[in-house]
Amino acid sequence: MKVCRKSLDLAMLRSCMNPKEISNKAGISYPAFKRASNQENVKPATIGRIAKALNIDPAEIIEKGE
């Protein structure tokens, strides 16, 4: 699965969190977060953890057409 970078950036903006804060709150490594934000394929659980850290539905940041 891939993350939509634009949607992720918007969610980060709304939450006032930076990538390090999100990766810490999500319980994932910073490189895993960077892979997701660079629109590489990541595990669904990684996207779920990022979404949970941002208090949003995972569907909000999933790349459409997946």
**Amino acid 65: pLDDT:** 74
Whole-Å CA distances, 7 to 23, 39, 58, 59:
17, 11, 11, 10
**Amino acid 10: pLDDT:** 97
What tokens appear for 15 in the block? 């939450």
13-52 confidence digits (pLDDT tens): 999 999 999 999 999 999 999 999 999 999 999 999 999 9
What tokens appear for 30 in the block? 């910073």
Among 5, 6, 19, 4, residue whose Cα is nearest residue 53: 19
Whole-Å CA distances, 48 to 23, 40:
12, 15
* Model confidence band, residue 64 (pLDDT cutoffs 50, 70, 90): confident
Query: Who's near 63: CB < 8 A, 6+ residues apart?
Result: 1, 2, 3, 4, 39
Predicted TM-score (pTM) of the model is: 0.93
